[in-house]
Amino acid sequence: MSSSRKRNKEAKKNYDQKYRREHRARYWATNSIFKHKQSGFDVEISVDFLEDLYNKTEFCQICGTKLEKESSKRKDYGNTPTLDRIDNEKVIKEDNCWIVCHSCNTMKGSHPMNQFLEKIGKIIERFK
Ligand SMILES: [Zn+2]
């Protein structure tokens, strides 16, 4: 590759990273909605709404951990923000979604919140 092409490629990479950093919320919201639709969920929220919710949410709405919005390091992965339905029986709409950390979302899975809490209670009892 010629050095100028290499420079162009490097410049594009830097530009992409800068764009992603500056538009992190937009990027995350667009991607989250896209992925949920792709997985077959009914999504009745807009990118604008979710972008706003992302900007307003500092902590996981289940465990209270500070959400790791900037890092892409593997060790921070569990604390990255994810879109979740509050009530898994209902569609994704404005009054039925929150942002929780990746760990909580994975653990909760498709359980309704009360079942999830019951399960955690049992685990805590067993390992006390
Ligand atoms: Zn959490």
Half-sphere exposure of 97 (CA within 13 A, CB side): 25
Q: What domains can be seen in the chain, in order of their start residue?
A: 3-126 (3.30.40.220)
Evaluate whether 82 touches 32 at the Cβ level (below 8 Å): yes
Report the mean per-residue pLDDT for the chain: 91
Distances (CA, A) of 55 to 33, 51, 68, 99: 16, 6, 12, 10
pTM higher than 0.85, yes or no? no
Instruction: Compute the distance from residue 66 Cα to the ligand 1 centre, in Å.
Output: 8
Instruction: Compute the distance from residue 21 Cα to the ligand 1 centre, in Å.
Output: 23
In this structure, what token pair is assigned to residue 117? Answer: 């809490």
Evaluate whether 106 touches 79 at the Cβ level (below 8 Å): no
Q: Which helix (H) or strand (E) holds 101?
A: strand 97-101
Evaluate whether 48 touches 96 at the Cβ level (below 8 Å): no
Instruction: Compute the distance from residue 103 Cα to the ligand 1 centre, in Å.
Output: 6
Instruction: Compute the distance from residue 102 Cα to the ligand 1 centre, in Å.
Output: 7
How confident is the model at residue 1, as a pLDDT? Answer: 58
Chunked mean pLDDT (size 10), the chain, 128 residues:
80 82 91 96 97 97 94 80 92 96 94 92 96
Instruction: Compute the distance from residue 3 Cα to the ligand 1 centre, in Å.
Output: 46
Evaluate whether 44 touches 93 at the Cβ level (below 8 Å): yes
Please count the other Cβ atoms lying within 10 Å of the Cβ belonging to residue 9. 11
